[in-house]
Structure 1
C-alpha cells in the first residue's frame, strides 16, 4: 500500500497453458508493481495460481468455468475483499451483456467494484453505485483487436485511474481462426 492508495492489476481468462505457455513479460512486470493482483477466473492451471501467489504482494481471485477441481478447491466462486474502503467482488461469469449492470447490482448488493471475466471483452461501466470492470484477456483476444489487462487505483473509498492496457501482438497468440 502507498500513501496514494492501492495499485490494482486486473486480469482474467489467462488460460495457461492451453492458449499460451506463460503470461506476457509485460504482465509479470505489472505483477511486481501491483499492491493487489485480481484474477477473475479461467486460470486453467494450478501452477499459475501458485506463481502469482508467490510473486504478488497480495492476490484476490475466483475460479472460472474452465478451471478444474484443483483450482476450484483453492478459490471461491465469488471472491470478496474490502480494500481502501472499496468493497470488491470478483466473479468469472455475469451472463449476457443485456441488463448486466442491473443484474449484477442485485446479485452483489454489497459491492462497490465488480471485476469479472469470461467474455474476453473489456468492459467498464457503472450502475447504481457499482463499477463493473472486465480486463479482457492477456493471452486470448478472441474477437478483440488486442489482448488486454487493466490497472486501477483504490483510494479513500473510490476506484480511480482505470486504464485498459493493450499488449503487443505475438505471432499466432490468441488469434481465433474460423473453421478451426
Structure 2
C-alpha cells in the first residue's frame, strides 16, 4: 500500500493569509504524511498541522524564528516506504541547482524545498528528485497558488501532481 504525501512550503500564515485554503486542509486530512518546507511565520500553523495531520515532517525557513526554529530542524530527513526524503527551505539560485543539491544530498532519493514560491520538479543525473510545491497562499509572480501531492511505495515516488488553487480560494489577510 502506498503512503499519500502532501507537500507544502511558504505558507506565510498569518503574514500573507489568515489561514490555509479549504482545499489544502482537505488534502491534509487525506494525506498519510504532510511535508512542509518552511516559512511558516507563526507557530500556530505548526501546532494545527501537527494536530490535524496523521504525520508531519518539516523544517524551518528564513522567515521562521523563535519557537519555530527551536522545534524544527533546518533540514529534516525521513524514510517513507523505502524513499529517502529530505526537506529544506533554501537551495540557492535555480542555476546549477541540480548539481549543488546532488552533491549536498547524495544520500536522498527526494528533496522537497521552498523559498522561491516557484513550483519545481526535476531529477538530477544521479536520480535525486527535486520538488518545490510553490505556495498555497502567496503566488508572487506565479499565475496560481499551488501545492503538491505524491505517493511513496516500494522505494519509489509516484503520482506527483501540482495542484493549482483557484483564484479567490486563498483566505487573504484583511
TM-score, normalising length: structure 1: 0.93
- CA 1:71 to 1:82, structure 2 compared with 1: closer, same or farther past 3 Å? same
Q: In the aligned structure 2, how far is the partner of 1:67 from the partner of 1:8?
A: 23
Q: In the aligned structure 2, how far is the partner of 1:68 from the partner of 1:21?
A: 19
RMSD: 1.2
| SS of residue paired to 1:47 | helix
Q: Is the 8 A contact 1:140 1:173 kept in 2?
A: no
Matches for 1:80-119 after TM superposition, within 5 Å? 80-119=77-116
Q: In the aligned structure 2, how far is the partner of 1:163 from the partner of 1:32?
A: 17
| SS of residue paired to 2:142 | coil
**Whose relative contact order is higher, 1 or 2, with alpha carbons under 8 Å and at least 6 apart?**
2
| SS of residue paired to 1:28 | helix
Q: In the aligned structure 2, how far is the partner of 1:38 from the partner of 1:68?
A: 19
Q: Identify the residue that residue 131 of structure 1 maps to in structure 2.
A: 129
Q: Identify the residue that residue 76 of structure 1 maps to in structure 2.
A: 73
Of 127, 138, 161 in structure 2, the residue corresponding to residue 140 of structure 1 is 138
TM-score, normalising length: structure 2: 0.96
Q: Identify the residue that residue 11 of structure 1 maps to in structure 2.
A: 8
* Structure 1: 4+ residue segments shifted above 6 A: 171-174
